[in-house]
Amino acid sequence: MAKIKMSSVDTAWLRMDSTTNLMMIVGVMVFDTPLDVARFKALLEGRLLPYARFKQYVVDDGMAAHWVDDEKFDLDAHLHRVRLPGAGGERELQAMVADLASERLDKGKPLWQMHLVENYQGGSALISRIHHCIADGIALIGVLLNMTDEDPNAADTPRDIPRPKIKKFAAANNAGGGLEAVLQALGPIGAQIQAGLGPAAGALAPVAGMAQQVFDKLGPLKAPIESAMDEGMRMGTKVVAKYSRWVDDPTQAVDTAKIAAGFAQELAYLATMPTDTATRLKGKTGTVKCVAWSEPLDLVRVKDVGYVLGCSVNDVLLASVAGAIRSYIISKGDSVESGALLRAFVPVNLRPKGKEYKLGNQFGLVGLELPIGEANPIARVFEVRKRMNALKTGYQAVVSMALLGVLGYVPKAVQRQALGLLSDKGTAVMTNVPGPANPLYLAGSKIVQNMFWVPQSGNVGIGVSILSYAGGVQFGLITDRKLCPDPENIISNFSVEFDKLMTSLMWLENGFVGADASAFDNMLTTGAEAMAEATIEAVAAPVRAVKKAIASKRKSAKS
């Protein structure tokens, strides 16, 4: 019987289940025709089960967790054929997904389950639940799509999966001091950097000293994080691997020391960052979930808007999400201050290129502060872009992955304390994953909608999913019913907010746009002509600046 030790990061996700939030990735595929059950089971056998994790259960003795082969594995225990009640429409499917998202997986079996809904709108739907300890969302999307084909008539042949090469990492005390010296630099940081860098220490001392001060604020978490940081450092940055060549190139020592100080600062920031703005979406979670999703948004339109504004597709979509949440809160009669921010934890893929097939968890989290206080759609896009760019230059994703690695080693009590440091300071978890550009088929049936949600931890009660597929962008929302019993009212605002952005761009080119939030809201309700007379002088400068940028981009495109 094979018994393989689970990685510390995956162990952290295994133990993160709580009464109110289960660590499952939930996916839904909708098909235009009924799925052929026999063909689908053959695909599961030939394309999913070759991944060993899907035929292994977990044994956790409190000290360590292990994957163990399930010698009594039965596919029928994981694939359930069900029918929706009543009309068998979208509302009934969403209710079933919400119920399953609140139901624990059987830990005596491999931690995944599928429900094939056989009566959905003339076709069928597939609800998948997979525990996060098996893999993260990026890997699981790849695994599930591995069962599909671009040709509906393609043969259901089994597929080999890439086998990872086993590598032995160098010992921590290799030439030049290895990782151990870098880890020691985290505490006490200043002394170790001075000892290792000699003349360079003078320039780095202020940075190191400041990092040490904020690092000390971690309190009871400081010791376990210092003792186990090597795994996160090893996985999270290639630069640290160059440490053994410090003797040959002293400048590499300076770069690595800066990274060590940067790591400590980012870690301390995660522990001490202020909470986001209090809204009705933030609070103590319950045990019941609600689910909703939208009709796909045309991806070409999103790309066009991003091109005109000089922003990424991601910036445009996240700004629309911020606008939808803002509109929902206001519709409930709550006020939203101009500086209000909603922090969403966004997963960042840390897999090396070409290693997407590997199961397990290899991602970090960054805390994106969505500007829900900004009513002007154009200003909101620019603000999102600024905040995303700032996150891209830091180590927050890598540090959060290192922290998860640490949590796989420490007692559950410390783990819960660490998770509380993060979850209480955010409101949502948000994923944005690029999917296939062309339609896909599973067992001959066309996938017309594809969506998934990653779990929320602690008291985070909102999960937003953005997935591009076959020329469209699918928005999905999963919420805690105590905090948001009607997620469909947020979902319905996504396309509305995007249309506001399109409308504002058209008015922008004609000189009719508000420079501030109140002016823009007024414009949307009173019309362009009335707005032009009231605000043209106040907005002349920003209008000219943006029109100039638009003209410049068009000129560059023609040339």
82 neighbors 118 (Cβ within 8 angstroms): yes
Indicate if the pLDDT at residue 78 is higher than 90: yes
Answer yes or no: is 402 within a domain.
Answer: no
Residue 87: name the closest of 58, 46, 110, 120 by CA.
Answer: 120
Residue that wins the pLDDT comparison between 525 and 36? 36
Mean pLDDT of the chain: 76
Tokens 């320039």 correspond to what residue?
203
Average pLDDT estimate for 167-187 = 36
pLDDT band at 243 (very low <50, low <70, confident <90, very high): very low
Four-point Cα dihedral 303, 349, 438, 554, nearest 10: 20
Report the predicted TM-score, pTM, of the whole model to 2 decimal places: 0.76
pLDDT band at 225 (very low <50, low <70, confident <90, very high): very low
Tokens 């999905």 correspond to what residue?
476
Q: Distance of CA 235 to CAs 224, 347, 352, 383, Å? A: 18, 16, 10, 31
pLDDT band at 104 (very low <50, low <70, confident <90, very high): very high
Q: 523: domain range? A: 510-559
Cβ-based burial of 160 (10 A; exposed 0-12, middle 13-18, buried ≥19): exposed
Average pLDDT estimate for 185-196 = 38
Indicate if the pLDDT at residue 536 is higher than 60: no
Same domain, 11 and 141: yes
Per-residue confidence (pLDDT) for residue 493, from 0 to 100: 92
Per-residue confidence (pLDDT) for residue 190, from 0 to 100: 34
pLDDT-above-70 percentage for the chain: 64
pLDDT band at 523 (very low <50, low <70, confident <90, very high): low
Average pLDDT estimate for 149-167 = 76
Same domain, 18 and 110: yes
Same domain, 141 and 244: no
Most confident of 5-9, 188-192, 393-397, 555-559: 5-9
Same domain, 39 and 124: yes
CA dist., res. 42 & res. 46, Å (int): 6
276 neighbors 425 (Cβ within 8 angstroms): yes
Answer yes or no: is 43 within a domain.
Answer: yes
Answer yes or no: is 494 within a domain.
Answer: no
Per-residue confidence (pLDDT) for residue 169, from 0 to 100: 33
Q: Give helix 250-272 / helix 412-423 axis angle, nearest 10°.
A: 80
Q: Give CA angle at 86 (81, 90), nearest 5°.
A: 75
pLDDT digits (tens, 9 = 90+) for 316-361: 999 999 999 999 999 999 999 999 999 998 887 777 666 666 788 8
pLDDT digits (tens, 9 = 90+) for 399-436: 666 666 655 555 555 566 656 556 778 899 998 888 88
Q: Which CATH number goes with the domain that contains 30?
A: 3.30.559.10
Residue that terminates a domain, selected from 129, 145, 161:
145
**What is the domain count for the chain?**
3
Answer yes or no: is 50 within a domain.
Answer: yes
351 neighbors 361 (Cβ within 8 angstroms): no
Same domain, 10 and 136: yes
CB count in 10 Å sphere of residue 155 = 6
Same domain, 17 and 133: yes
CA dist., res. 355 & res. 336, Å (int): 43
Q: Distance of CA 315 to CAs 340, 379, 409, 436, Å? A: 18, 11, 36, 20
CB count in 10 Å sphere of residue 386 = 11
CA dist., res. 460 & res. 458, Å (int): 6
Residue 166: name the closest of 37, 326, 358 by CA.
Answer: 358
Average pLDDT estimate for 247-256 = 45
Four-point Cα dihedral 383, 384, 390, 394, nearest 10: 160
